[in-house]
Structure formats: C-alpha cells, structure tokens
Structure 1
C-alpha cells in the first residue's frame, strides 16, 4: 500500500515536532510549518531520510558545528536559515 501525499506530510510533520531534543523540535517544527506542505516527490523523500538521522548530528549540521553529508547540504542550509534564534543568537 502506498502512502497518500497528505498522510505522508502529516507523518513527517509529527516526526519533525516530536524529536529527542527540544532544540530539534523547535527547529524542525518551524521548517515543517513553512515548507513541508509545498514539498513534493524527491524533496519529501530527502526530508524523510534526513529525519532518520540522529538529533545530535542534525543539530551539529544545522548549527554549523559540523558539515552535513553532501546529499543533505542544501536541505540543511534551508533548515538553518530559520534556526538562527535556536542555534545561535539572532
């Protein structure tokens, strides 16, 4: 059975707002609120894979403490744009 687009987005949204650390809840919830409903196909696939990464790795990538894998670099940059107040003083 394939997953309907809206159901998939709702699942990804829940995975975005219910993370292991509060900072990632805030960062990914803001990103999902702004971008998730407009994402399609390959972008959703990539975001789904990104959400499978550990919160510690994600936070380091978004905050600029470590470089993300090339496959995630553009997506992490988009997420980091909206995370300034959480990852570092705005």
Structure 2
C-alpha cells in the first residue's frame, strides 16, 4: 500500500521549496548544496544524531567498495570532526558513487574543487596508503587508466578470458 503513495510523495518533493524539502514523512534528502542537512552540534543529542546519520550514509551507499572505505574512515574520524569538516564530509557523501570511486582509487584525477576538500584528501590518502601496502603494483592499472583486470583465475587457460573480468 505504501508504494502506491510514492508517486504522490515524489510529486510533493518536486513542488516544495528547497528550504522545506529536507524531509517528508520518513523520506529524507541529504544535500549540503541546498542546505538541507542541518548541522547542529550544539548539544550532545544533536551531535549524536548527526554522527549516526553520517555514519549510516557512509556505510549504505550501495557500492560495496565505498561502503567499506567511507564507513571505516567515518567511524574512525567522526568524533574528531568540527563543523567545517562535517560540512566537507557531507560534500563528499553527496558525490556520485562511480565518480567518487574513480577519484579515490586514482583511476581519474579529481576536479580541483573536490581535491581541495580536506575530508576527501584524507580519505584519498588512506586509500592510496592501503593500495601501496596491500596491492601489488602489477595488479593495478597505471594512474589515470581504468582498471580492467578483475578476478580472472582462468586467464590464460583454454576458453578463459583474454583480458578483464569476462
């Protein structure tokens, strides 16, 4: 029954002004560009709610690699972030998954606006450190090139893939 009301909710969200769009019932919208994330760290309860909300957003992106990377980084650093860095974190969480993954993994250089974000820079440094510590250089693409090798256990065998994860 609830799914029948979804088009109505979506139409309502389109007609509301940006100041009132941040929540409709249990549907929430997180976008720091429109100011819909209310960053209130004035008391313990508000800070706890904000931290939980950001931790959830970092772990539930729907892109496993980013769920693991962002979730771990936010879990380790959320308590030490001030209001400015929380805004930077929200800006990172607002990025699209494919673009964010390419920028964090070094497949593409990030735009200057993203590269100057202190939270992005910290997460990017952590990802590069992990790549350098745990991934053999032969298994990685050159910087700026897409990753084409996957789990290709049968590569080189008769009938196996010639390249990539086929």
User: Of 119, 123, 138, which aligns to 1:75?
Assistant: 119
Moved over 6 A (4+): none
Structure 2 residue matching 1:24: 3-state secondary structure: helix
Give 1:34's aligned residue. Answer: 76
1:44 aligns with 2:86: yes
Give 1:54's aligned residue. Answer: 96
TM-score, normalised on structure 2? 0.47
Structure 2 residue matching 1:59: 3-state secondary structure: helix
| In 1, Cα distance between equivalents of 2:105 and 2:112 | 16
TM-score, normalised on structure 1? 0.81
Higher RCO structure (Cα 8 Å, ≥6 apart): 1
Structure number, greater radius of gyration: 2
> Aligned pairs, how many?
87
| In 2, Cα distance between equivalents of 1:6 and 1:67 | 34
> Residue 61 of structure 1 contacts residue 76 of structure 1 at CA under 8 Å; is this kept in 2?
no
5+ long unaligned stretches in structure 1: none
Considering only aligned residues, what root-mean-square deviation do their CA atoms show, in Å? 1.9
Structure with greater helix share of residues:
1
| In 2, Cα distance between equivalents of 1:32 and 1:48 | 11
